[in-house]
Amino acid sequence: MENNEPKVSPPFSCQFTPQLPELLLKLNCTLALSTYQAGKVVLISALDDQKLNVLPRTFNKAMGIAIDGNRMAVATSEEIIKLVDSPQLATHYPKQPGKYTSLFVPRATYYTGRVDMHDLEFGTEGLWAINTSFSCLCLVNDEYSFIPKWKPPFISELVSEDRCHLNGLALVDGKPKYVTALGQGNERQSWRGNIVKGGILMDVQTNEVILKDLAMPHSPRMYKGDLYMALSASGEIIKVNVLNKSYEVIKNLEGFVRGIAIIDDYMFVGMSKLRKNSSTFAKLPFAEKASESGIKVLHIPTKAYVGSLIFKTSVDEIYDLQIIPNNNKVGILNTINDIFRLSLSLPGTTFWANPQQVKE
């Protein structure tokens, strides 16, 4: 008897162009993306020149990701979780010994409260975060929910009203330099009044508005001294001329672009599926076309499209995208599965604790 029921794809299944595994192998890197909609951080790497490994881990409302050497930080709904890579723990990972050469393990949790942290970056002064709820740039530490360090001059006070939807952050020489926001209002969620064309790019160090009237700017990224950004509401990836206060369009990807990671002249861009019942997203010109989520890859010098990945299940919206360099066998643990409690790191040595001893 034939089974005529439609085949159901497994969670986080995806389709990708043949070039993508080859490129990730060539670059010897792993992609890390966050999806607050699915509540996951997803690592993507090449198993060989034809297959990909997709590893999802649960992080509640995962947003900004910061990666610096062996350190990673993930912004969640109420916390920022700091993880540290341990190759030694990876080698003897109890569930899959020898599968990974790196394993990012939770080592600290900062209880920020519900302040809607967006972009994160490790800098010379510590871990920087965009605090969207309070419209400010802040430092994260273990004494306070956050330490406000800068707010746009048009924001009159620190109050949890998401007045301008501050979202993106780029550092230069380890210090905050550029931020993006979706508006310049000074009232509760005033940015929603002109969501499609009210965005700005600002210089934190001079308080200058470099660009305005932008189509939902996100993900400012420095690469080889140049500043790139995503204009989510127009589908454009742009390169900014800071001195002339202008920009050129590198590529129009005709979809909701958010999340940029760059390595060796290759730019990986996150693409999100728009919520059809959203009054905000319904206003965008390509709302009907933005029906897929995934990653598109561009070669910056030629502006050529060189590959893509499309999620068939589970992932609809992507927030951040980062590169873990020099490794295509990376694992990650979260604070939800208790196995992370068995991972013990000491100066100069590591252990996996005996599960029975931990329970006792």
Distance CA 359, CA 179 (A): 46
**CB neighbour class for 170 (10 Å; exposed up to 12, middle 13-18, buried from 19):** buried
32-60 residue pLDDT tens? 999 999 999 999 999 999 999 999 999 99
When pLDDT is cut at 50, 70 and 90, the band that residue 280 belongs to is: low
Using the predicted structure, report yes or no on whether residue 142 has a pLDDT greater than 80. Answer: yes
Share above pLDDT 90 across residues of the chain, in percent, rounded to a whole number: 89
List, in order, residues 6 or more apart from 201 with CB less than 8 Å away.
178, 179, 180, 209, 210, 211, 212, 214, 217, 220, 229, 240
Using the predicted structure, report yes or no on whether residue 260 has a pLDDT greater than 80. Answer: yes
When pLDDT is cut at 50, 70 and 90, the band that residue 299 belongs to is: very high
Distance CA 215, CA 280 (A): 13
Domain 14-359 sits in CATH at 2.120.10.30
Beta bridge partners of 127: 122, 140
Please state the pTM of the whole predicted model.
0.94
236 φ, ψ to 5°?
-100, 145
- Asked if 106 contacts 112 with a C-beta cutoff of 8 angstroms, the reply is no
Using the predicted structure, report yes or no on whether residue 285 has a pLDDT greater than 80. Answer: no
Instruction: Look at residue 360 in the predicted model and tell me its pLDDT.
Output: 36
Instruction: Look at residue 105 in the predicted model and tell me its pLDDT.
Output: 98
Q: What distance lies between CA 216 and its chain's CA centroid?
A: 16
Instruction: Look at residue 4 in the predicted model and tell me its pLDDT.
Output: 56
Using the predicted structure, report yes or no on whether residue 358 has a pLDDT greater than 50. Answer: no
Three-class DSSP category at 97:
coil
Instruction: Look at residue 161 in the predicted model and tell me its pLDDT.
Output: 98
When pLDDT is cut at 50, 70 and 90, the band that residue 8 belongs to is: low
- What is the Rg, in whole angstroms, of the alpha carbon atoms belonging to the chain? 20
Query: To the nearest whole number, what is the mean pLDDT of the chain?
Result: 94
- Asked if 146 contacts 196 with a C-beta cutoff of 8 angstroms, the reply is no
Share above pLDDT 70 across residues of the chain, in percent, rounded to a whole number: 92
The number of beta carbons lying within 10 Å of the beta carbon of residue 353 is 12
Task: Please report, as a single letter, which amino acid is at residue 281.
Answer: F
Handedness of CA 249, 291, 67, 327 (dihedral sign): negative
Enclosing H/E stretch for 26: helix 19-27
Extents of the domains making up the chain: 14-359
Three-class DSSP category at 104:
strand
DSSP secondary structure letters along 283-329: GSTTTTT---EEEEEEETTTTEEEEEEEESSS------EEEETT-S-
Instruction: Look at residue 1 in the predicted model and tell me its pLDDT.
Output: 47
Quick one: average pLDDT of 318-341?
96
- Long-range contacts, stretch 67-73, CB < 8 angstroms, 24+ apart: 67/32, 67/322, 67/323, 67/324, 68/122, 71/122, 72/32, 72/104, 72/332, 73/120, 73/122, 73/127, 73/140
